[in-house]
Amino acid sequence: MPTLFQDRLAVSLYDAQWSTGVKTPIPAPVIARVVAALARFKRTCDDFGVPPREGGVRVIATEATREAINSAELRGEIQRATGWEVEMLDKREEGRVGALGVVSSLPRLEEGLVVDMGGGSIQLTWVDKPAAGGTAVVGRSASLPYGAAALLREFQYAQCKGREEMQELRNDVSAKLVGAMASLGAPAILNRSGPARLYLSGGGFRGWGYLLMDAHPVQPYPIPIINGFRASISAFAGDLHGRVAQASGPDADIFRVSERRSTQVPAVAFLVDVLREIAPRVEEVVFCQGGVREGALFERLDPAVKSLRPLRAATAEHAPPSGERLCELLRAAVPRGRSAARVASSMLRPLVDMLYVHRSLPRDTRAAGALRSTTSGVLAATHGLLHEERALLALALCERWGGESETPATDHDFLRRLREILVEDEVWWARYLGAVARLIGDAYPAGVVREGSRRLEVVGRDGGDRMLLDVRFSGRHARAAAEDAAKAVKAIEKVGKRKNWVGGPGREGWGIKVEVSVAVDESASSTIRA
């Protein structure tokens, strides 16, 4: 669902209750700030025409409100100021809805453990992989009092007491985590024979993810969005002391890691180390932006909408009039059996949908605008994409408008870094599909395939050590169309030249030689379909 407006108040209700080291009621000034923020949001809803009744607004509260000494006072003040009743989720429902938010934030979930780290607690939920055509199945949830702020208090206390107290805390956290995972009916993450995944959300883990980005081999890391960022377990749980020093150094200035989050890093590192120890089968960690808010929205969607791939849903509004037929053309350019399958399966239709989005830009900026479209452009706000998907589509769209040669020097380094977070053959196929998309865009500049005007056919064939692409123009104006597409044909051949293969300096690189043959038939029947 596209977001029209988003706001955030920098108030932690958990911290407000523990500011003295002992739990107290939420202070009156904090309540006043929360109420004022919601009253301002109500005025914004009125400006957008949100219906005041019939589910137009839903206010959801989680643990910090649920467990507050003066919870009733806070909720009463909100209702008096706005007319909105605050709905409180119990522990299990909070975990289930939060897990649905994680499901909504990725194109597909394999089975694994969702861990949502709030301020006062962590919610653990087991998610089973979906049946064909469905969405992931959310199982039971468990809650433990190890949120970033809560665990930091215990961690600092144990540190002051000494080594024995630290070991006792570690044993306690480890035992309760193991017990909680077993209670979910999915102890497989503890002892399974195959690889397992952790899906992490919540502020504490998001801060950890940004630390990993800041230390990533590709620097500066090109995608400033936490959702969809993946890391191996060795990167996730490696060099814990280095991560703590990275966040607490005198010159620490890490994107999206606030001073408050920096102080919590030692406690998060402690939990990360315990997770690594008790779940040795975990091989991959996926960071997710989704939580209770996203899960509450996702739950209300129609099942058919839930099952859509997020990228396809996000690009559909930009689809050209003859999108289906253009997609068939692009699909025909990929020979069967080639390694393009994993790229083409998710990229073909979104690439066609976005084929003409940047055509109204000045020629000098089309390639650059397309390159940035998934990180700071038209698709930047899309919820549910992996970083690899953002990089693949950006590279293909950039190539559709001429690639690196049409990209200003100011964007060359960004282009290089996007390539470096992908596997070499993925980069090559993204370039190839983008070059073929350029040919299609030149043949049908309005995205409309008209009967009796011109017809383009492309057929990709496997030629052993090379790829053969047959391009055929037919119908009225076929020769003119072929002449107009000459540059695009050369661009496809250029992608296949050995000197342009994908690889680092001094390496041969990865690629496939491409031979393009062009045929023109002006006598073909005008009723032939593309």
pLDDT mean over 35-62: 92
Q: Are 274 and 395 members of one domain?
A: no
Q: Are residues 496 and 358 in the same domain?
A: yes
pLDDT in tens, 217-237: 999 999 999 999 999 999 999
Residue 516's DSSP bridge partners are: 469
Domain hosting 276: range is 91-294
Place of tokens 């064909």: 132
Both 120 and 66 in a single domain? no
**Short-list 392, 481, 463, CA closest to 434:** 392
Q: Are residues 447 and 459 in the same domain?
A: yes
Specify the pTM.
0.92
The contacts found for 32-39 with CB under 8 angstroms, 24 or more apart, are 33/9, 34/9, 34/74, 34/78, 35/77, 35/78, 35/81, 35/82, 37/7, 37/9, 37/11, 38/78, 38/81, 38/82, 38/84, 39/81, 39/82
Dist. CA 296–CA 275, nearest whole Å: 28
Considering the domain boundaries, does residue 527 fall inside one? no
- Is residue 302 one of the residues assigned to a domain? no
Q: Is residue 300 part of a domain?
A: no
The pair of three-digit structure tokens given for residue 181, joined into one six-digit string = 């995972």
Tell me, what CATH number does 58's domain have? 3.30.420.40
Count CA within 13 A, CB hemisphere, residue 329: 29
- Statement to judge: residues 276 and 288 lie in one domain: yes
Q: Which of 88, 105, 130 is the endpoint of a domain?
A: 88
**38, containing H or E segment:** helix 28-48
Residues 269 and 411 occupy one common structural domain: no
| Residue 206: inside a domain | yes
Q: 20 lies in a domain?
A: yes
**95 is written with which tokens?**
């975990």
CATH of the domain at 276: 3.30.420.150
Instruction: State residue 525's pLDDT score.
Output: 46
Higher pLDDT residue, 305 or 421?
421
Query: In the 3-class helix/strand/coil scheme, how is 438-500 assigned residue by residue?
Result: HHHHHHCCCCCCCCCCCEEEEEEEECCCEEEEEEEEECCCHHHHHHHCHHHHHHHHHHHCHHH
Q: Which of 88, 104, 121 is the last residue of a domain?
A: 88
Is 327 part of a structural domain of the chain?
yes
Residue 400 lies in a domain: yes
pLDDT grade, residue 527 (50/70/90)?
very low
For 247-289, the pLDDT digits (tens) are 987 777 899 898 889 999 999 999 999 999 988 888 899 999 9
269/353 same-domain check: no
pLDDT at 131 over 80: no
pLDDT digits (tens, 9 = 90+) for 474-521: 988 899 989 999 999 999 999 999 999 998 555 678 999 999 999 998
For residues 438 and 488, is the Cβ–Cβ distance under 8 A? yes
> Looking at the structure, do residues 36 and 82 belong to the same domain, yes or no?
yes
Point out the domain boundary residue: 264, 294, 324. Answer: 294
**Count of alpha carbons within 13 Å of 29, Cβ hemisphere only?**
2
| Residue type at position 459 | V
Give the 3-state secondary structure of residue 304: helix
CATH of the domain at 462: 1.10.3210.10
Amino acid type, 314 = A
- For residues 57 and 98, membership in a common domain is answered with no
DSSP secondary-structure letter at 520? E
The pLDDT of residue 430: 95
Q: Are residues 249 and 384 in the same domain?
A: no
pLDDT digits (tens, 9 = 90+) for 94-125: 999 999 999 999 988 888 899 999 999 999 99
Q: How confident is the model at residue 194 (pLDDT cuts 50, 70, 90)?
A: low
Strands across the sheet containing 196-201 = 137-144, 122-128, 112-117, 196-201, 282-287, 230-232
**Number of domains observed in the structure of the chain:** 3
Whether residue 243 is predicted with pLDDT greater than 90 in this model: the reply is: yes
- What is the distance between the alpha carbons of residues 527 and 91, in angstroms, rounded to a whole number? 63
| 70/128 same-domain check | no
The SS3 of residue 432 is helix
From 388, 333, 330, 378, select the one nearest 354 (Cα to Cα).
Answer: 378
Percent of the chain with pLDDT over 70: 94
Residues 99 and 70 reside in one and the same domain: no
pLDDT of residue 509: 85
Do the domain assignments include residue 127?
yes
Per-residue CA distances from 271 to 264, 275, 285 (Å):
11, 6, 14
Give the confidence band of 528 by pLDDT, cuts at 50, 70, 90: very low
For 258, the token pair is 């606030």
